[in-house]
Chains A and B, each alone.
Chain A
Amino acid sequence: MASMTSGLAPVLDIQNLTIEFPGQRVVDDVNLEVGAGEIVALIGESGSGKTLTALAILNLLPRQAHVTEGRIMLNHWPMLHLTASQRRELLGDRLAFIPQDSMRALNPMLPVGDQVGEPLVIHRSISWEAARRIAVNLLRAVHLKEPEKRIADYPHQFSGGMQQRAMIAMALALEPELIIADEPTTGLDVTVQAQVIRLLGEIRDRKGTSILFITHDLGLVSDFCDRVYVMYAGKVVEQGSVGDIFDSPRHPYTAALLAATPSALERVSELVSIAGQIPTRGEIEAGCVFAPRCPRAQPLCAEAPVESEMSPRHRVRCWYPRGPIETP
C-alpha cells in the first residue's frame, strides 16, 4: 500500500491493529504509517493505547495482552507473523526502541559501554572489546562528553539526560530503519528535552532514519515532527500533517489537547486537564469513545463514527468535526 506522503512503500505500516486484555479492548482498529525519513508523532494521554501499539510492533507486550487482529509490516517483514528467531534478528538491528524511563531501562550491573555496544555483539558477532570501541563513537555522536571514560561507568553514575542519550546511542548502533521512541523526554528538564529532540531530528537528517515519536505532550511535536496521529481510548481519532493538526484541528479532543497544552515557554506539568478522564478499560461502550467528555456530543454519537477525510492527508473520526477555522 502506498505511503501517504510519497509514492514509496512506508517503512512501518500498521493496519487494523486490535489489542485486547482479557475482556477488554485497549487498542481498537488502529491504522498507522511511517514513511522513509519521516518523523511521526503518536499523541495521547496515558491510557490511550499508544505505548501498547508501539510494544506490539516489537512483540514485547505485557503477558496478558494479545493482538487479536491486524497486520504490522516493517518494510517487507510481517512483524506479527515472524518466528521468534526472525524477530530477534530484526530487533535492535533494523528496528530500535527507546523506552520511557531510561534509568530503569539500563541494567545496573553492566557498564554503559557494554550495553550500548551490545546490539553490535548480538547482530554483528564482533568481540565485546570492539563493541566498546564503537560505543565510544556512538556516545560521541549523541554529544556525551568524554565518551572514552563514560563507557566504563555504570548507569547510576549518569545523570538522567546522559542516560537518555545513552539509550539513543544504543538505538543508533546498527543504523536502524525505524526508531520507536516512547516518551523519551519525560522526566527530563526542559533544556535536556530540547537537546534530545534536536538529537532525534539530527539523526533523521543525517541518516534518513524514520522515527515514531510517542508522547502525551503536543507542545514537543510542532517543531520537529512531520505528521501526527492522535489517539484516544484505543482509537486514532485524528491524523494529519503537523500543519493540519496545529492550524486546523478537526476532532474536539485534538482541539482540547491543543488548548490545554502550555505554550513552549511555560511547560509546567504534563497533566492535560480536560474535563473527565479516559474511560477505564471496562467502561468503553459502543459509540464514539470521546462522547462522554465531548462538548459537541449529539445523539448520533451513540454510533461509532467512521473516518472521514478532511483533506488529502488529514483524516478525522467524528460525526461533527470542527470547521477549518473554529476556535476551540
Chain B
Amino acid sequence: MFRLIVTRLALFVPTLIAASMILFVAINVVPGSAARSALGVDATPQAIMRFEAQNGLDRPLHVQYADWFAKAVRGDFGKSFQNRVDVGPEIVRRLPVTLELSLLAFIIANLIAVPLGSIAAYRHTKASDTVITSLATVLGAIPNFWLATLLVLVFSLKLRWLPAGGYTPFLEDPLSNLARMVLPAVSLGVVSSALLLRIMRASMIEVLSSDYIRTARAKGATNSAVIRRHALRNAAIPYLTVGAVEFGFLFGGVVIIEDIFRLPGIGSLVLVGIINRDYPVLIGAALVVTVAVLTVNMLVDIAARLLDPRQVRRKSGAA
C-alpha cells in the first residue's frame, strides 16, 4: 500500500516541475512582451532595456526559470510590476477563498452526479434514464458564466434572496460567507456535474450487470441494499479514476467565476495578472492553480486505488 502512495508522489514532483516549466515558457514565448506590457506601447528601447535589466529579464530563459523556481519553492513569488507589492503574501491571502469555492462546487457536483447517475443506471432503458441523461446533456452545454449571469438575475435581482457578489470571510460571518458562496459554487458545480453524472451512470451500468450483483439478489437483498452495499463501492473506483480529471478542471472554472462574483481568490488574481500584464502576479497565481489541480488529480487517483482491496492487499498463499 505504501508503495502505491510513494510511487504516485515520486511521479508527482517531476510533473509539478515540468508543469511550472511549461507555464514559464508559455508566458515568455514572445520576448520583450513583459517589459512592453509593463511600460506601455510607446516605451523607448532604452526604457525597455533598463526595465529588463532591473528585473533580470535579459538573462537567458533557463537562468530566469531556475531563479524564479528556486524562489517560488520558498514562497517568494517576486514583486508585482504594478505596485511592487510582494506576490507571495497576496496569494496566501487569497487561497482560502478559492479553496472554499472549489470545495463547495465539488460537493455540489457530486451531490448531483452520484445519486442521479446511479438512478439513471438502475433504471437503464426506462424513461427516467432517458430523462436524466438528457438533463445531463443539456446541463453540460450551459456555459458556466452564462449560468452565473442567469442565477444572479433570478436570485439576486428578481428574488433578492442572495447577494450578487463580494466576499465575507467565514470566521467573520459564516452566514454571509455561505450566502455569497452559494451562487458561485452552484454555477461551477452544476456544469461539472453533467460530465460526472455520465461517468457515474456508465460505471454503475457496468457494475449492475456484474455477477456479484446477481449473487446479492440471489441472497434476497433488497434493491437499496444491493446498490448501497455492493454496487456503489465498485462503481466508485472508475468514477473517481475517470472523474479525477474533471475534478481538476473544476478549478479551472474558478478563474471566470471568481471574476463574475468578485471573489478575491487566486482565480481572479490570474485575471488581475493578465489584464494588468503583471507577469509576476500572473505566473505566480497560475502556478498555484496548477499545483492545486495536479494535487487534486493525484489525491483522487490515490483514493481510488486505496479503495480497491485488490490493489492494497496481496494474494495469500494457501488453499
Contact = CB atoms under 8 A, between A and B. Distances in A.
Tell me, yes or no, whether A and B come into direct contact in the complex with CB atoms closer than 8 A: yes
Interface of A: 58, 60, 63, 87-93, 96-97, 99, 101, 104-110, 115, 118-119, 122-123, 145-146, 153-154, 156-159, 161-162, 167, 170
Given A92-B219, A106-B212, A115-B215, 18 more contacts: A91-B219, A96-B218, A97-B218, A99-B218, A105-B211, A107-B215, A109-B308, A110-B229, A122-B219, A123-B220, A145-B318, A145-B319, A153-B313, A154-B310, A154-B313, A156-B313, A157-B313, A170-B219
A58 B218 contact: yes
A60 B212 contact: no
B248 to A, nearest CB: 25
Contact of A107 (B125, B216, B217): B216
A167 B125 CA distance: 31
A115 B225 CA distance: 13
A63 B209 CA distance: 10
A90 B215 CA distance: 14
A153 B211 contact: no
A182 to B, nearest CB: 10
Contacts of A108: 212, 234, 308-310
Contacts of B310: 108, 154, 156
Contacts of B313: 153-154, 156-157
A167 B217 CA distance: 14
B230 A92 contact: no
Contacts of B307: 109
24 contacts: A58-B218, A91-B219, A97-B215, A99-B211, A104-B210, A105-B212, A106-B212, A106-B215, A107-B212, A107-B215, A107-B216, A107-B230, A107-B233, A108-B212, A108-B310, A110-B230, A110-B233, A118-B219, A118-B221, A122-B219, A146-B318, A153-B316, A157-B316, A159-B319
Contact of A91 (B210, B218, B314, B315): B218
Interface string B299-319: 000000001111001111011
Interface string B146-185: 0000000000000000000000000000000000000000
A56 to B, nearest CB: 13
B214 A109 contact: no
Most buried by A among B229, B234, B307: B229
Nearest to A85: B222
A99 to B, nearest CB: 6
Most buried by B among A123, A157, A161: A157
A122 B308 contact: no
Interface in B273-319: 307-310, 313-316, 318-319
Nearest to B232: A109
Nearest to A55: B214
A99 B220 contact: no
Given A60-B214, A122-B225, A145-B318, A107 B234 contact: yes
Contacts of A97: 215, 218
A60 B209 CA distance: 11
A88 B222 CA distance: 7
Given A154-B313, A157-B313, A91 B318 contact: no
B230 A89 contact: no
Given A99-B215, A156-B315, A162-B319, A109 B309 contact: yes
Contacts of B125: 63
Contacts of A118: 216, 219, 221, 229
A110 B213 CA distance: 12
A92 B233 contact: no
Q: 4 smallest A-B Cβ distances: which pairs?
A: A92-B219, A92-B220, A91-B220, A97-B218
A85 B225 CA distance: 13
Nearest to B233: A109
Contact of A156 (B212, B218, B220, B309): B309
A122 B220 contact: yes
A144 to B, nearest CB: 9
Contacts of B229: 110, 118
A21 B61 CA distance: 69
Contact of B217 (A60, A104, A106, A145): A60
Contacts of A119: 219-220
Contact of A89 (B210, B220, B233): B220
Contacts of B314: 157
A167 B216 CA distance: 12
A24 to B, nearest CB: 19
A157 B234 CA distance: 17
